[in-house]
Each structure stands twice: as structure tokens, then as C-alpha cells.
Amino acid sequence: MSAVPRPIVEIAEELGLEQDEIELYGQYKAKVKLEVLERLTAPRAKYVLVTGTTPTQFGEGKTTMTIGLGQAFKHLGLRSVVTVRQSSLGPVFGTKGAGAGGGAAQVLPFPDIALHFTGDGHAVTAAHNLCSAFLDNALYHGDVVLDPRTVTWPRVLDVNDRALRHIVTGLNESGGLTRSTRFDITAASEVMAILALARDYRDLRERIGRIVVGFTYDNQPVTAEQLRVAGPMTALLVDALKPNLVQTTEHTPAFVHTGPFGNIAHGNSSVIADLIATRLAEVVLTEAGFGTELGAEKFFHIKCRGSGLVPDAAVLVTSVRSIKAQGGLSGRRGRIDEQELAREDLGAVEAGLPNLAKHIENIKAFGVPVVVAVNRFPTDSERELDRVCCAALDLGAEGAAVASVYADGGPGGLEVARALLRAFEKPKAFRPLYDLDAPFERKVEVIARTLYGAGSVRFTAAARRQLAVLTRHGYDRLPVCMAKTPLSLSADPTVLGRPEGFEVQVRELRLLAGAGFVTVLLGDIQTMPALGRHPLGAEIDVDEHGVIHGLR
Amino acid sequence: MSAVPRPIVEIAEELGLEQDEIELYGQYKAKVKLEVLERLTAPRAKYVLVTGTTPTQFGEGKTTMTIGLGQAFKHLGLRSVVTVRQSSLGPVFGTKGAGAGGGAAQVLPFPDIALHFTGDGHAVTAAHNLCSAFLDNALYHGDVVLDPRTVTWPRVLDVNDRALRHIVTGLNESGGLTRSTRFDITAASEVMAILALARDYRDLRERIGRIVVGFTYDNQPVTAEQLRVAGPMTALLVDALKPNLVQTTEHTPAFVHTGPFGNIAHGNSSVIADLIATRLAEVVLTEAGFGTELGAEKFFHIKCRGSGLVPDAAVLVTSVRSIKAQGGLSGRRGRIDEQELAREDLGAVEAGLPNLAKHIENIKAFGVPVVVAVNRFPTDSERELDRVCCAALDLGAEGAAVASVYADGGPGGLEVARALLRAFEKPKAFRPLYDLDAPFERKVEVIARTLYGAGSVRFTAAARRQLAVLTRHGYDRLPVCMAKTPLSLSADPTVLGRPEGFEVQVRELRLLAGAGFVTVLLGDIQTMPALGRHPLGAEIDVDEHGVIHGLR
């Protein structure tokens, strides 16, 4: 946390931004105005996806790797930008922390990025809940014919709050309506997904207007437009659509913008930041949440479809410890014993390699060259690291190298960066796995079979009924947004390695018409996290000078 | 809305702020760091309270007057600052609008001030709800012995949402706790009141720690400190404690900071802004919510006690139409017929003067010289305006003048400003109406008898039981924060003019130990407003360039 940031106006200038194209938020943060897209009309950067193998609950250091690689390209004389998601206050005060990188590969200024940052998350919360208030107000006054039993629009707060997962509202209101509903965390809000996918203000306004909050008694969709709340919601998001420019510990530029969760939403940073970054830089690295079967799949099918950008290569981040965990060296649900982790265990590495193999295959299935980056942890042995790198090459990766960006910053990522430069020269033929006009069940099946290794897909009766309603209004032609556990290639968090032939059960469909996809829930997915017995937040305090301590 | 603001760095420099004492939020907004209080250690400004007579539901233009008078002093060659409260998103999308002044006397930039501004309101929401989450988490894990029936800490959102007034949380949680609770609007949050009263970071941290969320089974208070949430809550408020510097339409400086509601909370802008402003400027004008018996009383008893600042004079804002309304020219609950309003009616003015008289007396009761400012509306006749000014002088005001700041800006307020300069020369002897160690009932009675004109005060049995608990822990020695309708000097919104001898009923007490007062509720006070059938928000929209239209 000791790195001293440079004034953001200098970073912006070096990146090629003009002075009136940025808005300062303090000395070290700036928003970039969308007008820059009128000045620079064509992308010119190499565009790199950073994804990962099946993670442990600690994460692989994927964000740290993304930042470190951005720094590495600077050492190779290339102008690079990294684009990553914003923190959510829930995990910051819960168990995961801010996710702003680590060691010598972080985004600055901290703790600003971990807390309110430039207020985008709060804007999403406000816009989302304004829709909720207009919705219940319309029900109260009877202005919109809406079957209250069909209302799917929750409220949101950016906090881990178990007690809000299921609530009843509207008690004791004369003439009012008592409803069973819930709060999600803000990162799971459809408004967050919309903000991450919108290409400009017109697109943002139209997407907000298309949000479906529920249905009439004769099964017609009711939209935010009909509630007359789409305009004011968009007004609350005008600043939030502008990407946030900050810097890494080595003063390379970073866009930290939007934070849709990777399990329930599409788990990628904003389209608009990538549109701008690819016109300014020579290399743009963008991180997708969780493994290839989750964040990367949605990057390819949802984000790239939205942006029109085509990736030149992908980095697959892995670690010896996560491969060992997938090889069986773990307790239940990917939880690792720290003692076991410290011991060299080539057998466990070997047993875990099929997981790595599957993730390499998954990226290659989209026609994108892949470079494996093995994130070095202090307890890794050289033999373990060598084995993973060799295996990666054998398994079809265009390149593979160990990276030590946490300890060494940019120089620790040079080998991976050089491998990427070589990968850029390889022939590529990006192709999505499904067409939008394929039958809805077929889209789900293609993903589950090709990327998860499933043998079959089964829709529950409830999901089938939901599909019938969606199909009637043409929503079956939207992309699917798969929601499942990140801790396994399958939908069962306890299944390790490279499972095959299993059945996937589609439990529920959720229409996010504004975001432009249908979320497909496999298994139980929580959209509001809970605090544990010892939340990270309890360790945080402020001294008499207003300096924050204990924030991670 | 057409006034073009100057860069805020220039405004800050003219005010005597050094460049490293401000943090820019775009080109036209800045936060002022608390370090400035270490450089400038003594107040030097004349300190003026702006209050009003009993308002109609349209308001008297008190904020507009405050801003216009700040502008007027510049024309007299004096360095002035106005300090006013921030907007709340509830009224912005509901019925009242942003309250950022009007016509030629506004604070800029609009719409920034009306919407997210610098995010302080969102920080309050986040800090407040983090406490709620920690509270329910403690109940869930059983870590803190807390009688769930005594929990008084709600959740908050910055939205008008009727359906959240009474909710049940924690449904369907295995081992969880189902509770009946509510959401208040953020402006009614104790955290907002604390932010408005804190003198520095240490004071902020301590006040947050003292928040009482409920009681144990043996009636011991349970605090935010015990929940281990006071540190992280304060971390969320570090930036929010820094006052926001903006400018008026005539480029004089304005601090727009914190927004505690005037009915349920203490209804005054922040102590910290006034501490800074009085060290930088020659004249500081600060606005208190509603009439003298509400915002001004709490200004004198709560805000001045907290800041240690003593007012040199008060401006009592009134208008012909509000005096007519108090004279009986109104429907129920102060609602005025626009047709009736346009007709000259000296009889109605005469009938309403006792209300003006009472408000003048109320300020003089505190030993503060008062100048009456009659806010000119287009429908007022000269004879009506003359009658009010003459009466004001007869009733003991040190000065009285018509002001037309909405139409004319600063020049429209010169007469009032000159009257204030004369009032500054008058002898004054500021005195609160009660001592903190007076019996609790006595404090309420002094306010109700002296300022409202009540004949007696009666505590309900419930309020008496609450008082017994509070007294046991010494909370009866806190100031009282009266919560009642602003539409009458009494607690009954239908009673006009200058009521006398009535009985006031204390319905409920609420302990805000962190803010440092006990709220005394007279009658039904809503802490979560509702949207009407035609919310203002529905008129707002955004064009393809990201420009917001229709916001008021």
C-alpha cells in the first residue's frame, strides 16, 4: 500500500487523452468522457482476455496477474491498459477484500478504490431502488396493470446482509400491498449489468427502458419504460457510464469500471472502458470473473457480442496450489489446508492437470490462442512449477510461463508478456459456440456439453414454464447468462478435476431484458451474500487524522 | 440553470484556501480538507442564522434567500459564505425538487448538486446499513446479547418508498431471526445527524461508537462499538466529513454539506462547514429548516452547543402569501389556492401577522437580533409588502426589508444585508432556553411553552416508560430534538396563526446517543416519505449526449 501514485492528469496525458476529456475525482482518479469515442473512432490495440482455471475460494490472483501483465508490457515498450471490475462493499467488509490486486501489482489509490471510489456502485443502487419505488407506487395507485405475483424486480444494497434475502414489504399500509420480495447485492443488479454492457447514452437509455419488472395478468411484460422510471434511472447513471481511470503501482493506466458478479451476472468489466482503451493503447488486458466456463464464456458470448471487439489472445491464470486442489488435495468445496499446501506434492499436481487441460480446450474452442500464466506462490517448488508449464504446452497452449508479479511487479510478468506477443502472431478465428437464433435449450446444452463436460441438460418443470413465457415474447433469442458455482467445472461445488458425462439441471430462468440476456440458474445461487462470524470489516478503523487502517 | 460556473479552484483561492487544502470533484465541486482548521484556528466572521415563519407546503424560498444574501454581501465588499444542506434524492424524484435555490440565487453546478453530488448521502446510506447488517449478523450468530424486541436501529435508503415503512426481514433463514423493522429515508438517519454535528475525525469516530442500536434483556444499551462496526462505519464516512465547496450563481462560495431532515432530525447543515466558513469569511449565513420553533430552536440548542459558535444575528424569512395562509387564507394543512393568492387581501395579511410576531419573539427569546426579510413573489402588492415590513419593525425586529433575490440575485437582497450590518452593532446576549442538566420533561416544556405557545405538555404512558429507561443510563441529560409538523406552531398541522394554551402530547422518545440527543415525537412523524401519483421523477430524461432534462 506504500506506492505513491502520480497525478492522474499525467497518466491520462501519456495515454493520449486530452485535458477536457477527463473529469478529476481528487488528484488520483478521473472519469473519461464518452466524447473521446468521437475523436478516436477505431480500435487499434491487441485485446487480451485474462481468465483462469477452476479457482480455490482464495482466488488465483487473477486480478493481480492482469495488473502485473499490464505493467510488464510497459517494460517491453508498449502502451498498455488493464480493464478490471470495481470492488463491491459486500466482500470488502465480508471475507474477500477489495480485489484490487496485491503486492507489486495493484491499482491505486487505495483505499478509495475499495470503498466509494467515484460513486458508480452507489449510482446503481439508487437507480435500481428508484425503479422498485416506482413499481410499488404504481401497484399502490393502480396505475399499471401488473400481477404482483409475477414481480421479479428486487431491491439492492451494496452490503452482505443475510436478513434481506427474503423480506415482506408494505405492511400496515392502508390500501397498500404486502409483497414477499428480497434484496440482492448491488453487484447482482440488472442495472449493474446494463451499465457494464451499454455502448453509449442512447444504448443505456434504451436498455433501461427495456427492463422487465414483471408481467400483467395476461402475461404481457411490464417494463421500466411503462413505469415512467427509465428516464430518471438513466439520469442517475450519467456519470457512472464514464469509465474510471486510475493507475497501477508502476503508473500504467487502468480502467476500473462496473462490477457485475460472475456467478449470477455476466462477470466482466465494462464494454465502454474496453471500447475506449482499445482506441488509446497498444495492448489492452481485461479480466473476466472465475474460470473459463464462467467469466470467459460470458466474455465471448455476451461482452464481445455487445462490444464488437474480438480478442487476439487469452491468458489462462493458474497456480500450483489450485491445480493441487483440483487434484484432490483439498477438503470439501475447494477449501485448502495451509499445511498441506506448503509441501511439495507432484502427484497432486499430476492429478489436477486434467482441470488445466479442460480450461485450455475451452479457450481453444472459441478459436482464441491461449497462454498459460502460472502465478507463483512462496510455497511452490520449482519442480511443481516446471511440471505445470510443461504440461500446459503439451496440452495445446501457445505459451506457458511462471509469473511473479505479486513479488516483482511488471518484471515478474515479462515471460508471459513475451509469450503473448508471440501468440498475437498466430492465426486465429474467433467463433462463438452458438448462434442467437438457436433454440434456447440448445444454447444451454452447447455450453454445458462443450465447456463443462456435461452429458445432458435437464430443465425442471418450473424452468420449462418460464421458458414458455419468455419464448412467447421472443426473449428466447437472447444470449444465455449461466449462473453456477465457480468452484467446479460442473454445477456441483464438491466435484473436482475434469468431470464428464454428468447431468446439469436448470432450476430457474431469470429474464434480464435490459441487460439483454436470460440468466440460467444451475443449483442454488445466492444473490445476497452473508457476513461470517468474524467479518473483515471488524478489523477496520480510522484514526484522528481520518486515515483508514486495516482495510484489505 | 443557464449560469456558467467558474472553476472551483478560483473560488477556493479567493476564499483564502490553499491549493492542497481542497480535493476536486470535477471542475466545479471540491471537498475541503479538515487540515484547514489547524492553519486557521479562530472564527472571525459574523455568523447569521437564516430561519423563517411558519411555511406553506411550497416553502418560503428560504434557501433562495440565504443564497441571495450571500451574494448581496459581496456587493457590499464583504467576503461571504453560505452554508446550506444537501439535497435528498427522495424529494428530488418525489414532489419538492432539489432545494438548491432558484432564479438568480442558486447553488451550482446543477444537476450535480441535485443528484449524487460528491456522494456524501450514499456514504451515509452505506455506513448506516453496514451497522444494520452487523446487527442482524450478531443476532444470527448470537455473539451479542441483545433483546431483538428492543432493536431501534432501522435501515435507510435515499428514496421515497412507502412499501419500506414497515417490513419483516430474515424470512426463510435457517437459524435466523425474523424481525419486524423499517427503512427510513437517509436524511432521517442518525448517521446523517452525526455527520452534521461531528467537529473532527475523533469526534466522528466516538459518536459512531456511541450509537445505541437496542438494549440487552436487562436493559443495558448495546452500542455500535460493541457490534465492532463503528470503525468500518467511520471508514465509510472519511470523505463525507469534508465539506463540499461550490458556488452561487454570482460566484460567491457556498458550502453544501449534510442534509438531516428538519422534522425528525435536527435540520441544520454541518458544524464542520460552519467551523471552516467562519474562519475564512467575513460573513457566514447558515440556513435552518422550517420555522423558528423547529430548525432555529435546534440550531440554537443542538448545533450551536456542538460548534461553540454564537450567532450575531438572525434573518427571519417570510412572504406575503405565507402570512396570508396563516391568516386563514388557505385550505386545510396550509395548502393555498393559487387564484386566491394572486388577489390583494390586506385583511388576510393582518390576520396572519400574529404568526410573524410569534416567530420574532422566538428569536429574541434567545437574545439574538432579528431582521425580517420579506421574499417578494410576483403576485404580492406593494401595500401588502409594506404592511408586513412595518409590522415587523413594530413587533420588535431590528430591521425589515423586501428582498427580490429570485429575480435580481444579490442586488435584490442589499436592503436586508444592510439591515444585518446594522443589527451586528446591536448588543446581544445569546442564551439557550434550557440547561442540559434540567429535568428532561422540563426541557420539552420550556420549548413547547416558550416557542410553540403551548399551555401544557403531556407524556403518554409509553413515552414515560421510555424516559425511565433513558434516565437510568443518564441519557436524560442530552439535548432534546423536537419532531413535529412544520406547518403549524403547534403539533397539529391544521392549526393556523398563533395558537395559545394548547396541550402538547409527547408520543414517543427516540434515543440518538451518537448524534447526542433524544428525539421527542409529537404526533405522527413519517421517517420514510412516499411517492405521489405523479412523481416529479417521471418528467426527467436523458438525451443521447448524456444531458439530463426535466430535473428541478
Instruction: Inform me whether the pLDDT recorded for A417 exceeds 50.
Output: yes
pLDDT band at A361 (very low <50, low <70, confident <90, very high): very high
B62 assigned to a ligand binding site:
yes
**Three-state SS for B474?**
coil
CATH of the domain at B174: 3.30.1510.10
Whether residue A253 has a cis bond before it, omega within 30° of 0: no
B539 lies in a domain? no
Amino acid at A312: D
DSSP code at position B144: S
Which three cell numbers mark A325? 486442489
Plot region of B287 (φ>0 → left; ψ -120 to 50 → alpha; else → beta) = beta
Determine, for residues A201 and B545 on separate chains, whether the beta-carbon distance falls below 8 Å.
yes
pLDDT for B53:
97
Select from A157, A182, A207, A242 the residue whose CB has the most chain B CBs within 10 Å, as the one to mutate to test that interface.
Answer: A157
Which three cell numbers mark B246? 461550490
Phi, psi of B298, deg, nearest 5: -75, -25
**Better-predicted residue by pLDDT, A248 or A343:** A248
B431 lies in a domain? no
Determine, for residues B162 and A140 on separate chains, whether the beta-carbon distance falls below 8 Å.
yes
pLDDT for B176:
65
A185 lies in a domain? yes
pLDDT for B334:
47
**How many inter-chain contacts (A to B, CB under 8 Å) are there?**
240
Q: Buried (b) or exposed (e) across B149-165, using 16+ Cβ within 10 A?
A: ebbebbbbbbbbbbbbb
pLDDT for B264:
75
pLDDT for B333:
47
Alpha-carbon distance of A520 to A483, in angstroms, equals 6
Find out whether B95 and B532 touch, Cβ atoms under 8 Å: yes
Q: Which residues of B touch A185 (CB under 8 A)?
A: none
Determine, for residues A176 and B170 on separate chains, whether the beta-carbon distance falls below 8 Å.
no
pLDDT band at A263 (very low <50, low <70, confident <90, very high): confident
Query: Which of B242, B238, B254 is CA-nearest to residue B12?
Result: B254
Alpha-carbon distance of A2 to B442, in angstroms, equals 56
A506 lies in a domain? yes
Amino acid at B148: P
Distance, in angstroms, between A23 CA and closest chain B CA? 5
> What mean pLDDT value characterizes chain A?
94
pLDDT for B173:
66
Find the distance separating the first CA and the last CA of chain B, reported in whole Å. 10
A510 lies in a domain? yes
State whether residue B38 sits within 8 Å of chain A by CB. no
**Which tens digit of pLDDT belongs to each residue from A180-212?**
999 999 999 999 999 999 999 999 999 999 999
Q: Quick one: B204 and B345 in the same domain?
A: no
pLDDT for B93:
94
DSSP code at position A101: E
B432 lies in a domain? no
pLDDT for B335:
56
Q: Quick one: A372 and A254 in the same domain?
A: yes
State whether residue B355 sits within 8 Å of chain A by CB. no
Q: Which residues of A touch B231 (CB under 8 A)?
A: 537-542, 550
Nearest chain B residue to A90, by CA: B130
Instruction: Inform me whether the pLDDT recorded for A334 exceeds 60.
Output: no
**Three-state SS for A247?**
strand
CATH of the domain at B478: 3.10.410.10
State whether residue B361 sits within 8 Å of chain A by CB. no
Q: Quick one: A61 and A113 in the same domain?
A: yes
**Three-state SS for A497?**
coil
User: What share of chain B in percent tops pLDDT 70?
Assistant: 97
Which three cell numbers mark A60? 488465483
Nearest chain A residue to B115, by CA: A236
Determine, for residues B163 and A23 on separate chains, whether the beta-carbon distance falls below 8 Å.
no
B59 assigned to a ligand binding site:
yes
Instruction: State how far the alpha carbon of B139 is from the alpha carbons of B134, B135, B145, B167, B170, in Å.
Output: 9, 6, 8, 18, 11
Plot region of A228 (φ>0 → left; ψ -120 to 50 → alpha; else → beta) = left
**Three-state SS for B461?**
helix
pLDDT for B97:
79
Q: Which residues of A touch B544 (CB under 8 A)?
A: 200-202, 205
Nearest chain A residue to B142, by CA: A533
**Which tens digit of pLDDT belongs to each residue from B483-519?**
999 999 999 988 999 999 999 999 999 999 999 999 9
Among the listed ranges A37-46, A150-159, A253-262, B140-149, which one has the minimum average pLDDT value? B140-149
pLDDT for A340:
76
Q: Quick one: A130 and A167 in the same domain?
A: yes
The answer for residues whose C-beta is within 8 angstroms of residue A293's C-beta and 6 or more apart is A359, A362, A447, A451, A452, A489
User: What share of chain A in percent tops pLDDT 70?
Assistant: 97
Which three cell numbers mark A145? 396493470
Distance, in angstroms, between A235 CA and closest chain B CA? 6
Among the listed ranges A100-114, A326-340, B140-154, B179-193, which one has the minimum average pLDDT value? A326-340
Which three cell numbers mark B551? 430535473
Nearest chain A residue to B161, by CA: A133
Find out whether A263 and A270 touch, Cβ atoms under 8 Å: no
Residues in chain A: 552
Q: What is the largest CA-CA distance in chain A?
A: 72
Find out whether B450 and B433 touch, Cβ atoms under 8 Å: yes
> If you search the block for the grid coordinates 465494462, which residue do you land on?
A270
Q: Quick one: A147 and A114 in the same domain?
A: no
A74 assigned to a ligand binding site:
no
Last residue of a domain, one of A235, A255, A287: A235
Neighbours of A550 (CB within 10 A): 15
Alpha-carbon distance of A446 to B322, in angstroms, equals 70
- How many CA atoms are closer than 13 Å to the CA of B281, on its beta-carbon side? 30
A429 lies in a domain? no
B33 assigned to a ligand binding site:
no
Instruction: Inform me whether the pLDDT recorded for A16 exceeds 60.
Output: yes
Instruction: State how far the alpha carbon of B541 is from the alpha carbons of A209, A479, A513, A515, B544, in Å.
Output: 11, 29, 20, 19, 10
Nearest chain B residue to A88, by CA: B126
- CA gyration radius, chain A: 23
Alpha-carbon distance of B509 to A58, in angstroms, equals 47
Instruction: Inform me whether the pLDDT recorded for A291 exceeds 70.
Output: yes
Query: Which of A185, A156, A537, A531 is CA-nearest to residue B138?
Result: A531
Determine, for residues B537 and A27 on separate chains, whether the beta-carbon distance falls below 8 Å.
no
State whether residue B9 sits within 8 Å of chain A by CB. no
For residues A370-376, average pLDDT: 98
Neighbours of B538 (CB within 10 A): 17
Whether residue A109 has a cis bond before it, omega within 30° of 0: yes
**Better-predicted residue by pLDDT, A100 or B512:** B512
- Number of compact structural domains in chain A: 3
Domain that holds residue B466: 440-522
pLDDT for A335:
56
Q: Quick one: A231 and A174 in the same domain?
A: yes
Tell which A residues from 52 to 91 touch B, by Cβ distance under 8 Å.
Answer: 89
State whether residue A146 sits within 8 Å of chain B by CB. no
pLDDT band at A332 (very low <50, low <70, confident <90, very high): very low
State whether residue B535 sits within 8 Å of chain A by CB. yes
Last residue of a domain, one of B235, B253, B274: B235
pLDDT for A1:
45
Plot region of A343 (φ>0 → left; ψ -120 to 50 → alpha; else → beta) = beta
pLDDT for A343:
87
**Which stretches within B16-119 are classed as H helix?**
36-39, 62-75, 89-93
Q: Quick one: A303 and A415 in the same domain?
A: yes
B493 lies in a domain? yes
Alpha-carbon distance of B193 to B196, in angstroms, equals 5
pLDDT band at A2 (very low <50, low <70, confident <90, very high): low
Q: Quick one: A258 and A197 in the same domain?
A: no
CATH of the domain at B12: 3.40.50.300
Last residue of a domain, one of A395, A424, A453: A424
Distance, in angstroms, between A525 CA and closest chain B CA? 15
**Three-state SS for A106?**
strand
Determine, for residues B159 and A202 on separate chains, whether the beta-carbon distance falls below 8 Å.
no
**Which tens digit of pLDDT belongs to each residue from A215-247?**
999 889 999 999 999 999 999 999 999 999 999
A58 assigned to a ligand binding site:
yes
State whether residue B24 sits within 8 Å of chain A by CB. yes
User: What share of chain A in percent tops pLDDT 90?
Assistant: 88
A60 assigned to a ligand binding site:
yes
Instruction: For B223-260, give the secondary structure using H, E and C.
Output: ECCCCCCHHHHHHCCCCCCCCEEEEECCCCEEEECCCC
Q: What is the DSSP string of B194-205?
A: HHHH--SHHHHH
A59 assigned to a ligand binding site:
yes
Instruction: State how far the alpha carbon of B31 is from the alpha carbons of A169, A335, B209, B256, in Å.
Output: 38, 45, 25, 10
Q: Quick one: B244 and B294 in the same domain?
A: yes
**Going along B16-109, which residue ranges are E strands?**
22-24, 30-32, 46-52, 80-84, 101-102, 105-108
pLDDT (tens digit, 0 to 9) for every residue of chain B, 552 residues total? 457 999 999 999 999 999 999 999 999 999 999 999 999 999 999 999 999 999 987 777 999 999 999 999 999 999 999 999 999 999 999 987 788 899 999 999 999 999 999 999 999 999 999 999 999 999 999 888 899 999 999 999 999 999 999 999 999 766 668 999 999 999 999 999 999 999 999 999 999 999 999 999 988 999 999 999 999 999 999 999 999 999 999 999 999 999 998 877 899 999 999 999 999 999 999 999 999 999 999 999 999 999 999 999 999 999 999 999 898 865 544 456 767 777 899 999 999 999 999 999 999 999 999 999 999 999 999 999 999 999 999 999 999 999 999 999 999 999 999 999 999 998 889 999 999 999 999 999 999 999 999 999 999 999 999 999 999 999 999 999 999 999 999 999 889 999 999 999 999 999 999 999 999 999 888 899 999 999 999 999 999 999 999 998
Q: Quick one: A111 and A198 in the same domain?
A: no
Q: Quick one: A49 and A192 in the same domain?
A: no
Alpha-carbon distance of A250 to B116, in angstroms, equals 32
Q: What is the DSSP string of B297-344?
A: HHIIIIIHHHH----SEEEEEE-HHHHHHHTT-S-GGGPPPHHHHHS-
Plot region of A103 (φ>0 → left; ψ -120 to 50 → alpha; else → beta) = left
Q: Quick one: B276 and B410 in the same domain?
A: yes
